[in-house]
């Protein structure tokens, strides 16, 4: 079987996942990356069809570990390959499934990094709000911290998603699942300020209609990379030394809510987690926090 046939099978499978299963573009991109890495391995080994032996799959995964891929990345890759082999079997392309003998690696139980309230205050103070770009960036940071939404969800926000009178915002999450979540008056005020002082004049200037709330300097939808670069820049300006990622404000939002007494189920709904165990990771308080609470609340101390 030639390379093109194997590549065509990946393409057909991903079209099926996107059209019939309704998976998001980001998920499809992740699947493609995993399967095409597997394809490179298969071709380098001189194979003309997908491996049917678990030993071959183990050899591929061992190479991934040699490349210092994280446990979570390898787990995702195994999951992608499992689904792909199941599809191959259903389509009668290949019946033998070596993934049945492949176990997921044990999860690394790493606590997500979160900013302190002081660090959040420092971060929010960095954009120059005397400039239009600064107003937009402040509105973005306030929105991320006020809602805990993903960066991909933020860049896809549209004008009709904002319900000012109710203090709610509509978010389109993973798998195109909708949810209505609260947004703080402070963040809402910054969005409105951005719309009136920056966005409206920008739209007039470029002479183009655009429904997305947050726009770049050309009046077009922002990218995830642009948001990430912006956050990284402001973290450096705020002298925040933690390893901040695009998800850090989401982690910070959840951590601060739970630390201040929010119900776990409520936080789960706001974050859009389908499984509450994903939310429970934020309940792991540090030993220092536990001791502080103990000394403050125990009546015999």
Q: What amino acid positions are annotated as catalytic residues? A: 150, 174, 247, 250, 273, 282
- Measure the CA angle with vertex 272, ends 266 and 274; round to 5°: 95
Q: Give the integer Cα–Cα distance in Å for 32 and 83.
A: 12
| Secondary structure class of 149 (helix, strand, coil) | coil
How far apart are alpha carbons 230 and 22 in whole angstroms? 31
What size, in residues, is the chain?
Answer: 301
214: DSSP letter: S
Check if the beta carbon of residue 178 is closer than 8 Å to that of residue 140. no
Residues 261, 145: Cα–Cα separation, whole Å: 17
Determine the longest span between alpha carbons in the chain, in angstroms.
76
**Edge-to-edge, what's the strand order for the sheet holding 178-182?**
162-163, 168-172, 178-182
Backbone torsion region of residue 123, taken as left when φ is above 0, otherwise alpha when ψ lies between -120 and 50, otherwise beta: alpha
H or E, element range at 171 = strand 168-172
């Amino acid at each position: 079987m030639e390379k093109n046939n194997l590549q065509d099978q990946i393409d057909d499978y991903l079209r099926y996942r996107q059209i019939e299963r309704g998976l998001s573009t980001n998920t499809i991109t992740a699947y493609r990356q995993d399967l095409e890495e597997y394809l490179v391995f298969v071709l380098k080994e001189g194979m003309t069809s997908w491996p049917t032996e678990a030993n071959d799959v183990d050899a591929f995964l061992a190479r991934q570990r040699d490349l210092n891929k994280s446990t979570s990345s390898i787990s995702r890759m195994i999951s992608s390959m499992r689904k792909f082999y199941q599809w191959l079997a259903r389509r009668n392309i290949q019946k033998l499934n070596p993934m049945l003998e492949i176990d997921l690696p044990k999860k690394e139980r790493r606590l997500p990094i979160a900013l302190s309230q002081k660090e959040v205050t420092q971060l929010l103070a960095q954009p120059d709000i005397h400039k239009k770009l600064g107003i937009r960036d402040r509105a973005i940071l306030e929105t991320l911290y006020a809602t805990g939404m993903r960066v991909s969800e933020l860049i896809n926000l549209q004008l009709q998603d904002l319900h000012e009178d109710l203090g709610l915002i509509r978010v389109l999450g993973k798998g195109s699942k909708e949810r209505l979540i609260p947004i703080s008056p402070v963040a809402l005020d910054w969005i409105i300020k951005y719309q009136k002082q920056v966005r409206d004049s920008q739209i007039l200037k470029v002479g183009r209609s655009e429904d997305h709330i947050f726009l770049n300097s050309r009046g077009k939808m922002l990218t995830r990379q642009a948001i990430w670069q912006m956050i990284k820049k402001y973290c450096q300006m705020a002298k925040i030394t933690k390893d901040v990622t695009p998800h850090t404000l989401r982690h910070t939002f959840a951590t601060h809510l739970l630390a201040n007494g929010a119900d776990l189920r409520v936080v789960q709904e706001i974050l859009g987690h389908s499984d509450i165990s994903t939310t429970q990771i934020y309940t792991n308080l540090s030993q220092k926090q536990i001791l502080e609470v103990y000394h403050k609340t125990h009546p015999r101390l």
